[in-house]
């Protein structure tokens, strides 16, 4: 009989969340089986937006260039009230590797992820459905119905539910999905618009009749959605194209004639969040754990980040390289994010779709609130693009301090739990690259900044790099980051990758002019940091958090 380490992880659901998880596990070399009850990828989906942070994830997975070749790049959002523009949010001069919001239909994103999965030597088992589970101390026994109608018993150490809002995994685990339903009814459609309109902006229109949102899609198409009266589709069927056109005419101040609908659909918005992301050896991710309004496009992106967070932890634990306690951080880190997303999207949805029902004085207040100062603009964009996520409260994010205000470091330095930031140019063995390219891949990366003058830290940095290379080379890649004018020859024999910060930008962005150490996790967040190389503190962190040896 196969040992627990030999049994494959079972992933139920091959949407964006499941496929992202599969790609992460595959590049770690973890064994898994992915099933989906559908015969293939559905050729339509409501989710279209890919946030700046998600594009960073896809850069790491190696699919961002192919994706951007197909996508529309949104660089702004406008909101109109009764024909007047009351807010214009542009991404101009936004400091990020991907300073825009990419628009691509979900099925195309899924196709790219499935192609990547195949490139990694894995595949999806289609028309296979989970029908029963039996929890055991050391795993889960899952009963599957296969494409030919037969049943299969799959023993797995870990069962992952990535199977959407109506999750079978969640249902079989008898997990609750508390929340509330928006009483409004909405229509959404993928159509062609004949009139010219900005291809780099999305627009929201507020009027006495209701609200309308439009966003450009690839291939000259457009996604349109708005609230509708119950009577407009009495039997629950989607409205006819003519009814949607009438809604547009009533709410949009400029001509917008639609045709060639790829699909139209009615829906209601639910705000729901499972109490727990983990039950024994079963995990939930994506829409199986949280659902909310599509305003802001956070649903698909939050699921992708769930998978990106869980994947590396699950891979290490399943291969016996990390303690099971590491998996406890998944719910702690990701459920807080979902709670915030639910609140944010519900507030935004209420502000937009309650406009027609509020009194004039409330509308006037919203006009005033729509004009934001520059600092608030940047904060709003970072939050919208999910670049402000922070795991500082996580039990596996640790900051080691030698003194209360060691080295007089500026407050801008990164802390444990923060996302690593991109910087460059850097030089490694004569090759130019960026910080994100340096830390890319399934390993952790230990960044050892010696500082402008070294300050006696050369020996400590080399000693810590040596320990990492000797004992943890399968888990951690050690990099010594030097200022441009440092004597690289002094580190020629260091057992680490030597990185030259050509223009000093990485030292500046990491608050490391006087030296600093960061352990960057495979998902791009700071797991551990210290004001100076400390072998004892680093060993202590690894022993308590990350490794079984």
Whole-number pLDDT of residue 403: 57
Whole-number pLDDT of residue 373: 73
* pLDDT confidence bin for 369, thresholds 50/70/90: low
Whole-number pLDDT of residue 408: 44
534-543 tens-digit pLDDT: 889 999 999 9
Helices of type H across 258-297: none
Q: What is the average pLDDT value for the chain, to the nearest integer?
A: 91
Residue 498: pLDDT over 90: yes
Domains observed in the chain: 9-48+105-178+272-341 (3.50.50.60), 183-268 (3.30.9.10), 398-546 (3.40.30.10)
Q: What is the mean pLDDT of residues 199-216?
A: 94
337 sits in which H/E element: helix 328-353
Whole-number pLDDT of residue 307: 98
CA distances from 402 to 53, 233, 237, 482 (A): 32, 66, 65, 22
Residue 155 has phi, psi (to 5 degrees) of -90, 130
Residue 1: pLDDT over 50: no
| Contact assessment for residue 541 and residue 468, using Cβ atoms and an 8 Å cutoff | no
Residue at token pair 């951007």: 68
Residue 410: pLDDT over 50: no
* pLDDT confidence bin for 370, thresholds 50/70/90: low
| Contact assessment for residue 432 and residue 457, using Cβ atoms and an 8 Å cutoff | no
Residue of higher predicted confidence among 329 and 404: 329
Taking Cα atoms as reference points, which of 368, 363, 388, 369 lies closest to residue 378?
Answer: 388
Q: DSSP of 119-134, one letter per residue?
A: HTT--EEET-EEEEEE
Whole-number pLDDT of residue 407: 46
223-276 tens-digit pLDDT: 999 999 865 445 567 789 999 999 999 999 989 999 999 989 999 999 999 999
Whole-number pLDDT of residue 411: 45
Residue 171: pLDDT over 60: yes
22-61 tens-digit pLDDT: 999 999 999 999 999 999 998 876 789 999 999 999 999 9
Whole-number pLDDT of residue 493: 84
Angle at CA of residue 263, ends 223 and 243, nearest 5°: 80
Q: What is the mean pLDDT of residues 309-330?
A: 96
| Contact assessment for residue 535 and residue 457, using Cβ atoms and an 8 Å cutoff | no
Residues 258, 53: Cα–Cα separation, whole Å: 32
Whole-number pLDDT of residue 477: 96
Residues 364, 488: Cα–Cα separation, whole Å: 62
Whole-number pLDDT of residue 549: 60
* pLDDT confidence bin for 366, thresholds 50/70/90: confident
216 sits in which H/E element: strand 210-216
Residues 245, 232: Cα–Cα separation, whole Å: 12
Residue 482: pLDDT over 70: yes
Q: Which range has the worst mean pLDDT, 422-431, 448-457, 483-492, 506-515?
A: 448-457
For residue 99, the number of C-alpha atoms closer than 13 Å in the C-beta half-sphere is 10
Residue 450: pLDDT over 90: no
116-158 tens-digit pLDDT: 999 999 999 999 999 999 999 889 999 999 999 999 999 999 9
Residue 196: pLDDT over 90: no
Residue 548: pLDDT over 80: no
């Amino acid at each position: 009989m196969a040992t627990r380490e030999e049994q494959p992880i079972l992933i139920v659901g091959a949407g964006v969340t499941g496929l992202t998880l599969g790609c992460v596990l595959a590049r770690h070399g973890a064994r898994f089986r992915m099933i989906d009850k559908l015969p293939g990828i559905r050729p339509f989906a409501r989710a279209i937006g890919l946030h700046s942070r998600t594009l960073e994830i896809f850069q790491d997975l190696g699919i961002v260039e192919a994706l951007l070749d197909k996508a529309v790049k949104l660089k702004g959002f406008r909101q109109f009230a009764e024909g007047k523009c009351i807010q214009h949010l542009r991404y101009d001069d936004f400091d990020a590797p991907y300073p825009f919001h990419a628009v691509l239909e979900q099925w195309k994103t899924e196709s790219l992820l499935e192609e990547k999965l195949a490139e990694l030597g894995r595949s999806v088992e289609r028309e296979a459905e989970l029908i029963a589970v039996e929890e055991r101390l050391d795993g889960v026994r899952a009963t599957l119905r296969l494409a030919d109608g037969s049943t299969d018993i799959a023993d797995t150490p870990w069962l992952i539910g990535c199977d959407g809002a109506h999750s079978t995994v969640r249902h079989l685990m008898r997990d609750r999905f508390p929340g509330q339903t928006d009483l409004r009814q909405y229509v959404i459609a993928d159509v062609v618009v004949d009139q010219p309109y900005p291809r780099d902006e999305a627009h929201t229109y507020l009027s006495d009749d209701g609200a309308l949102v439009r966003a450009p899609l690839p291939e000259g198409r457009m996604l349109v959605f708005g609230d509708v009266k119950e009577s407009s589709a009495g039997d629950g069927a989607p409205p006819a194209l003519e009814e949607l056109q009438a809604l547009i005419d009533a709410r949009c101040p400029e001509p917008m004639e639609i045709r060639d609908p790829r699909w139209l659909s009615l829906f209601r918005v639910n705000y729901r969040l499972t109490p727990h992301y983990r039950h024994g050896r079963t995990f939930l991710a994506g829409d199986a754990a949280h659902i909310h309004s599509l305003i802001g496009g956070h649903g698909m992106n939050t699921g992708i980040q769930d998978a990106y967070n869980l994947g590396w932890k699950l891979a290490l634990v399943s291969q016996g390289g990390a303690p099971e306690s590491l998996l406890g951080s998944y719910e702690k880190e990701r459920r807080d994010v979902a709670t915030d997303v639910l609140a944010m999207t519900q507030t935004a949805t209420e502000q937009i779709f309650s406009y027609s029902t509020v009194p004039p004085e409330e509308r006037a207040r919203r006009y005033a609130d729509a004009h934001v100062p520059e600092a608030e603009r940047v904060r709003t964009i970072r939050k919208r693009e999910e670049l402000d996520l922070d795991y500082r409260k996580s039990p596996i994010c640790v900051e080691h301090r030698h003194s209360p205000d060691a080295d007089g470091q500026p407050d801008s330095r990164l802390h444990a739990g923060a996302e690593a930031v991109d910087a460059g140019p850097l030089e490694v063995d004569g090759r130019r690259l960026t910080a994100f390219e340096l830390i890319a891949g399934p390993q952790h990366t230990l960044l050892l900044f010696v500082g402008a003058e070294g300050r006696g830290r050369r020996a400590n940095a080399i000693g810590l790099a040596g320990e990492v290379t000797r004992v943890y080379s399968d888990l951690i890649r050690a990099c010594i980051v030097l200022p441009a004018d440092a004597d690289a020859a002094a580190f020629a024999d260091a057992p680490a990758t030597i990185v030259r910060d050509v223009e000093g930008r990485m030292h500046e962005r990491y608050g490391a002019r006087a030296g600093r150490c960061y352990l960057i996790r495979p998902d791009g967040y700071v797991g551990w940091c210290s004001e100076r190389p400390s072998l004892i503190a680093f060993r202590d962190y690894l022993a308590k958090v990350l490794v079984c040896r």
